[in-house]
Structure 1
Amino acid sequence: MKKFQFHLQKVIDIKEKNRELVEWSYTKILNDLQKEEKKLADLFSDKQQIEKQLSDEQKKGITIIKLQQVYDYLAFLRSQINQQKEMIKKQEHQLQEKKDELKEAKIEEKIWHHYKDKRLQEYLLESKRDEQKQIDELATYRSYY
Protein backbone atom coordinates (compact mmCIF):
# COMPACT_ATOMS: atom_id res chain seq x y z
CA MET A 1 0.00 0.00 0.00
CA LYS A 2 1.27 3.43 -0.95
CA LYS A 3 2.21 5.75 1.92
CA PHE A 4 0.13 8.92 2.40
CA GLN A 5 1.87 12.03 1.15
CA PHE A 6 0.19 15.38 1.48
CA HIS A 7 0.99 17.35 -1.65
CA LEU A 8 0.71 20.71 0.17
CA GLN A 9 2.97 19.84 3.13
CA LYS A 10 5.30 22.71 2.19
CA VAL A 11 2.42 25.15 2.68
CA ILE A 12 1.82 23.77 6.16
CA ASP A 13 5.53 24.00 6.95
CA ILE A 14 5.55 27.65 5.85
CA LYS A 15 2.45 28.42 7.91
CA GLU A 16 4.04 26.80 10.98
CA LYS A 17 7.26 28.75 10.47
CA ASN A 18 5.28 31.98 10.05
CA ARG A 19 3.39 31.32 13.30
CA GLU A 20 6.66 30.64 15.11
CA LEU A 21 8.14 33.92 13.82
CA VAL A 22 5.06 35.87 14.87
CA GLU A 23 5.16 34.21 18.31
CA TRP A 24 8.82 35.15 18.68
CA SER A 25 8.07 38.73 17.67
CA TYR A 26 5.11 38.87 20.08
CA THR A 27 7.29 37.62 22.93
CA LYS A 28 9.99 40.19 22.14
CA ILE A 29 7.47 43.05 22.14
CA LEU A 30 5.98 41.76 25.39
CA ASN A 31 9.42 41.64 27.02
CA ASP A 32 10.22 45.15 25.77
CA LEU A 33 6.90 46.39 27.15
CA GLN A 34 7.64 44.89 30.54
CA LYS A 35 11.05 46.63 30.57
CA GLU A 36 9.42 49.95 29.72
CA GLU A 37 6.81 49.47 32.46
CA LYS A 38 9.65 48.80 34.91
CA LYS A 39 11.34 52.04 33.81
CA LEU A 40 8.08 53.90 34.41
CA ALA A 41 7.74 52.38 37.87
CA ASP A 42 11.32 53.42 38.64
CA LEU A 43 10.59 56.97 37.49
CA PHE A 44 7.51 57.14 39.72
CA SER A 45 9.57 55.79 42.61
CA ASP A 46 12.27 58.43 42.03
CA LYS A 47 9.64 61.16 41.87
CA GLN A 48 8.03 60.03 45.12
CA GLN A 49 11.42 59.83 46.81
CA ILE A 50 12.37 63.36 45.68
CA GLU A 51 8.99 64.72 46.79
CA LYS A 52 9.45 63.13 50.21
CA GLN A 53 12.96 64.56 50.49
CA LEU A 54 11.64 67.96 49.47
CA SER A 55 8.94 67.80 52.10
CA ASP A 56 11.47 66.81 54.77
CA GLU A 57 13.90 69.57 53.77
CA GLN A 58 11.14 72.20 53.66
CA LYS A 59 10.36 71.40 57.28
CA LYS A 60 14.03 71.90 58.21
CA GLY A 61 14.56 74.85 55.93
CA ILE A 62 15.92 74.90 52.38
CA THR A 63 17.67 77.50 50.28
CA ILE A 64 15.91 78.99 47.28
CA ILE A 65 18.61 77.73 44.94
CA LYS A 66 18.26 74.17 46.26
CA LEU A 67 14.46 74.47 46.07
CA GLN A 68 14.68 75.59 42.43
CA GLN A 69 17.01 72.67 41.60
CA VAL A 70 14.57 70.19 43.16
CA TYR A 71 11.61 71.71 41.30
CA ASP A 72 13.57 71.60 38.04
CA TYR A 73 14.44 67.96 38.65
CA LEU A 74 10.80 67.14 39.47
CA ALA A 75 9.73 68.83 36.22
CA PHE A 76 12.32 66.74 34.39
CA LEU A 77 10.99 63.56 36.04
CA ARG A 78 7.40 64.46 35.10
CA SER A 79 8.54 64.97 31.52
CA GLN A 80 10.31 61.59 31.54
CA ILE A 81 7.21 59.96 33.02
CA ASN A 82 5.02 61.40 30.26
CA GLN A 83 7.47 60.24 27.59
CA GLN A 84 7.59 56.81 29.16
CA LYS A 85 3.78 56.61 29.22
CA GLU A 86 3.71 57.45 25.50
CA MET A 87 6.34 54.80 24.82
CA ILE A 88 4.29 52.22 26.72
CA LYS A 89 1.13 53.22 24.86
CA LYS A 90 2.91 52.68 21.51
CA GLN A 91 4.25 49.32 22.59
CA GLU A 92 0.84 48.23 23.87
CA HIS A 93 -0.55 49.10 20.44
CA GLN A 94 2.24 47.10 18.74
CA LEU A 95 1.57 44.21 21.10
CA GLN A 96 -2.13 44.22 20.23
CA GLU A 97 -1.33 44.26 16.52
CA LYS A 98 1.07 41.37 16.95
CA LYS A 99 -1.49 39.50 19.05
CA ASP A 100 -4.03 39.87 16.23
CA GLU A 101 -1.43 38.74 13.70
CA LEU A 102 -0.62 35.72 15.87
CA LYS A 103 -4.28 34.83 16.16
CA GLU A 104 -4.63 34.97 12.37
CA ALA A 105 -1.48 32.88 11.86
CA LYS A 106 -2.79 30.21 14.25
CA ILE A 107 -6.13 30.13 12.44
CA GLU A 108 -4.44 29.73 9.05
CA GLU A 109 -2.21 26.96 10.36
CA LYS A 110 -5.21 25.18 11.89
CA ILE A 111 -7.14 25.41 8.61
CA TRP A 112 -4.28 23.81 6.70
CA HIS A 113 -3.87 21.05 9.30
CA HIS A 114 -7.61 20.39 9.13
CA TYR A 115 -7.37 20.17 5.35
CA LYS A 116 -4.47 17.71 5.65
CA ASP A 117 -6.42 15.60 8.17
CA LYS A 118 -9.39 15.55 5.83
CA ARG A 119 -7.18 14.37 2.95
CA LEU A 120 -5.67 11.69 5.21
CA GLN A 121 -9.13 10.40 6.13
CA GLU A 122 -10.07 10.30 2.45
CA TYR A 123 -6.84 8.43 1.72
CA LEU A 124 -7.50 5.91 4.49
CA LEU A 125 -11.05 5.38 3.29
CA GLU A 126 -9.88 4.86 -0.29
CA SER A 127 -7.17 2.46 0.92
CA LYS A 128 -9.76 0.51 2.87
CA ARG A 129 -11.98 0.30 -0.22
CA ASP A 130 -9.06 -0.88 -2.35
CA GLU A 131 -8.15 -3.48 0.26
CA GLN A 132 -11.75 -4.71 0.42
CA LYS A 133 -11.89 -4.83 -3.37
CA GLN A 134 -8.73 -6.96 -3.44
CA ILE A 135 -10.14 -9.27 -0.78
CA ASP A 136 -13.39 -9.61 -2.74
CA GLU A 137 -11.48 -10.33 -5.96
CA LEU A 138 -9.35 -12.91 -4.17
CA ALA A 139 -12.45 -14.56 -2.68
CA THR A 140 -14.14 -14.58 -6.10
CA TYR A 141 -11.01 -15.98 -7.70
CA ARG A 142 -10.73 -18.78 -5.10
CA SER A 143 -14.41 -19.69 -5.34
CA TYR A 144 -14.18 -19.76 -9.12
CA TYR A 145 -11.34 -22.28 -9.09
Structure 2
Amino acid sequence: MKKFQFPLERVLRVKEIKEDELQQQLKDARDKKEHEENRLSGLMDIQKKYKEEFLENIDKPTKVFEVKHYCSYFPELENEINNQKQRVEKANEYLNQCLLEWQEAKKERKIMENLKEKKRDHFNKEQLKLEQKFFDELAQNPSRLNS
Protein backbone atom coordinates (compact mmCIF):
# COMPACT_ATOMS: atom_id res chain seq x y z
CA MET A 1 0.00 0.00 0.00
CA LYS A 2 1.29 3.43 -0.95
CA LYS A 3 2.01 6.00 1.71
CA PHE A 4 0.07 9.27 1.64
CA GLN A 5 2.09 12.29 0.58
CA PHE A 6 0.58 15.75 0.59
CA PRO A 7 1.85 17.66 -2.45
CA LEU A 8 1.67 21.01 -0.65
CA GLU A 9 3.48 19.87 2.51
CA ARG A 10 6.20 22.50 2.07
CA VAL A 11 3.61 25.24 1.65
CA LEU A 12 1.89 24.06 4.83
CA ARG A 13 5.21 24.02 6.68
CA VAL A 14 5.97 27.59 5.52
CA LYS A 15 2.55 28.71 6.76
CA GLU A 16 3.20 27.03 10.13
CA ILE A 17 6.57 28.78 10.44
CA LYS A 18 5.00 32.12 9.50
CA GLU A 19 2.26 31.62 12.09
CA ASP A 20 4.85 30.79 14.76
CA GLU A 21 6.86 33.90 13.91
CA LEU A 22 3.76 36.09 14.02
CA GLN A 23 2.73 34.51 17.31
CA GLN A 24 6.13 35.45 18.77
CA GLN A 25 5.76 38.96 17.34
CA LEU A 26 2.32 39.16 18.99
CA LYS A 27 3.80 38.10 22.33
CA ASP A 28 6.53 40.74 22.01
CA ALA A 29 3.90 43.38 21.17
CA ARG A 30 1.89 42.40 24.26
CA ASP A 31 5.01 42.65 26.41
CA LYS A 32 5.86 46.06 24.92
CA LYS A 33 2.35 47.36 25.56
CA GLU A 34 2.45 46.09 29.14
CA HIS A 35 5.85 47.74 29.66
CA GLU A 36 4.56 51.07 28.31
CA GLU A 37 1.42 50.84 30.47
CA ASN A 38 3.54 50.13 33.56
CA ARG A 39 5.73 53.12 32.78
CA LEU A 40 2.63 55.32 32.40
CA SER A 41 1.27 54.02 35.69
CA GLY A 42 4.59 54.84 37.38
CA LEU A 43 4.55 58.39 36.02
CA MET A 44 0.97 58.89 37.18
CA ASP A 45 1.91 57.59 40.64
CA ILE A 46 4.77 60.08 40.79
CA GLN A 47 2.42 62.87 39.73
CA LYS A 48 -0.09 61.90 42.39
CA LYS A 49 2.62 61.73 45.06
CA TYR A 50 4.00 65.18 44.21
CA LYS A 51 0.54 66.76 44.05
CA GLU A 52 -0.32 65.34 47.47
CA GLU A 53 3.01 66.50 48.84
CA PHE A 54 2.49 69.97 47.36
CA LEU A 55 -1.04 70.23 48.79
CA GLU A 56 0.14 69.09 52.23
CA ASN A 57 2.87 71.71 52.27
CA ILE A 58 0.81 74.57 50.87
CA ASP A 59 -0.45 75.61 54.30
CA LYS A 60 3.01 75.40 55.84
CA PRO A 61 5.55 78.12 55.41
CA THR A 62 7.54 77.02 52.40
CA LYS A 63 10.47 78.51 50.62
CA VAL A 64 9.92 80.26 47.34
CA PHE A 65 12.32 77.99 45.46
CA GLU A 66 10.32 74.91 46.63
CA VAL A 67 7.09 76.37 45.25
CA LYS A 68 8.91 77.35 42.08
CA HIS A 69 10.32 73.82 41.82
CA TYR A 70 6.85 72.27 42.10
CA CYS A 71 5.39 74.72 39.61
CA SER A 72 8.08 74.00 37.02
CA TYR A 73 8.07 70.24 37.60
CA PHE A 74 4.30 69.71 37.20
CA PRO A 75 4.12 70.82 33.54
CA GLU A 76 7.19 68.75 32.68
CA LEU A 77 5.67 65.72 34.34
CA GLU A 78 2.33 66.33 32.63
CA ASN A 79 4.11 66.55 29.28
CA GLU A 80 5.94 63.28 29.97
CA ILE A 81 2.64 61.62 30.92
CA ASN A 82 1.05 62.79 27.66
CA ASN A 83 4.02 61.48 25.69
CA GLN A 84 3.79 58.17 27.51
CA LYS A 85 0.06 57.95 26.75
CA GLN A 86 0.94 58.32 23.06
CA ARG A 87 3.51 55.53 23.39
CA VAL A 88 0.87 53.31 25.00
CA GLU A 89 -1.54 54.10 22.16
CA LYS A 90 1.09 53.27 19.53
CA ALA A 91 1.92 50.03 21.33
CA ASN A 92 -1.78 49.18 21.41
CA GLU A 93 -2.15 49.88 17.67
CA TYR A 94 0.88 47.71 16.93
CA LEU A 95 -0.55 44.96 19.11
CA ASN A 96 -3.84 45.08 17.21
CA GLN A 97 -1.98 44.94 13.89
CA CYS A 98 0.05 41.94 15.07
CA LEU A 99 -3.11 40.23 16.28
CA LEU A 100 -4.80 40.65 12.88
CA GLU A 101 -1.73 39.36 11.04
CA TRP A 102 -1.47 36.35 13.34
CA GLN A 103 -5.19 35.57 12.97
CA GLU A 104 -4.85 35.71 9.17
CA ALA A 105 -1.81 33.42 9.23
CA LYS A 106 -3.64 31.01 11.53
CA LYS A 107 -6.61 30.99 9.16
CA GLU A 108 -4.36 30.28 6.16
CA ARG A 109 -2.67 27.41 8.01
CA LYS A 110 -6.01 25.89 8.97
CA ILE A 111 -7.17 26.10 5.35
CA MET A 112 -4.07 24.18 4.29
CA GLU A 113 -4.56 21.60 7.05
CA ASN A 114 -8.18 21.10 6.02
CA LEU A 115 -7.06 20.62 2.43
CA LYS A 116 -4.47 18.10 3.59
CA GLU A 117 -7.12 16.16 5.52
CA LYS A 118 -9.46 16.13 2.52
CA LYS A 119 -6.65 14.87 0.31
CA ARG A 120 -5.78 12.21 2.91
CA ASP A 121 -9.40 11.08 3.11
CA HIS A 122 -9.62 10.93 -0.67
CA PHE A 123 -6.35 8.97 -0.81
CA ASN A 124 -7.59 6.49 1.82
CA LYS A 125 -10.85 5.97 -0.05
CA GLU A 126 -8.97 5.33 -3.28
CA GLN A 127 -6.70 2.87 -1.52
CA LEU A 128 -9.72 1.03 -0.12
CA LYS A 129 -11.24 0.88 -3.60
CA LEU A 130 -8.02 -0.56 -5.02
CA GLU A 131 -7.82 -3.14 -2.25
CA GLN A 132 -11.43 -4.09 -2.75
CA LYS A 133 -10.89 -4.39 -6.51
CA PHE A 134 -7.84 -6.59 -5.91
CA PHE A 135 -9.77 -8.87 -3.54
CA ASP A 136 -12.71 -9.05 -5.96
CA GLU A 137 -10.39 -10.07 -8.79
CA LEU A 138 -8.71 -12.58 -6.52
CA ALA A 139 -12.05 -14.08 -5.59
CA GLN A 140 -13.05 -14.38 -9.24
CA ASN A 141 -9.74 -15.80 -10.36
CA PRO A 142 -8.07 -17.79 -7.53
CA SER A 143 -5.33 -18.97 -9.90
CA ARG A 144 -3.71 -15.51 -9.56
CA LEU A 145 -2.93 -16.39 -5.98
CA ASN A 146 -0.46 -19.10 -7.04
CA SER A 147 1.40 -16.93 -9.51
Shared topology, TM-score over 0.5?
yes
**TM-score, normalised relative to structure 1:** 0.96
Equivalent in the alignment of 1:76: 76
Equivalent in the alignment of 2:115: 115
- One-letter amino acid matched to 2:12: I
CA distances 1:84-114 after superposition (whole Å, capped 9, x unpaired)? 0000111111111111101100100000000
Q: Distance in 1 between matches of 2:44 and 2:11?
A: 49
Q: Distance in 2 between matches of 1:25 and 1:61?
A: 55
Q: Distance in 1 between matches of 2:42 and 2:73?
A: 15
Shift of residue 70, structure 1, vs aligned partner: 0.9
Shift of residue 115, structure 1, vs aligned partner: 0.4
Residues 78-117 of structure 1 correspond to what in structure 2 (within 5 A)? Answer: 78-117=78-117
Q: Distance in 2 between matches of 1:106 and 1:4?
A: 24
Shift of residue 126, structure 1, vs aligned partner: 0.1
Equivalent in the alignment of 1:35: 35
Paired residues in the alignment total 144
Q: Percent identity?
A: 28
Q: Distance in 2 between matches of 1:66 and 1:143?
A: 111
Q: Distance in 1 between matches of 2:24 and 2:138?
A: 56
Q: Distance in 2 between matches of 1:108 and 1:77?
A: 46
CA distances 1:33-68 after superposition (whole Å, capped 9, x unpaired)? 101100000000000000011011112121222101
Shift of residue 143, structure 1, vs aligned partner: 8.4
Equivalent in the alignment of 1:52: 52
Give every structure 1 segment of 4 or more consecutive aligned residues whose post-TM-superposition deviation is greater than 2 Å.
none
**TM-score, normalised relative to structure 2:** 0.95
Secondary structure of the residue aligned to 2:59 is helix
Secondary structure of the residue aligned to 1:4 is coil
Q: Distance in 1 between matches of 2:79 and 2:17?
A: 42
Secondary structure of the residue aligned to 1:60 is coil
Equivalent in the alignment of 1:130: 130
Secondary structure of the residue aligned to 1:101 is helix
Q: Distance in 1 between matches of 2:85 and 2:29?
A: 16
Q: Distance in 1 between matches of 2:61 and 2:30?
A: 46
Residues 6-25 of structure 1 correspond to what in structure 2 (within 5 A)? Answer: 6-25=6-25
Q: Distance in 2 between matches of 1:55 and 1:62?
A: 12
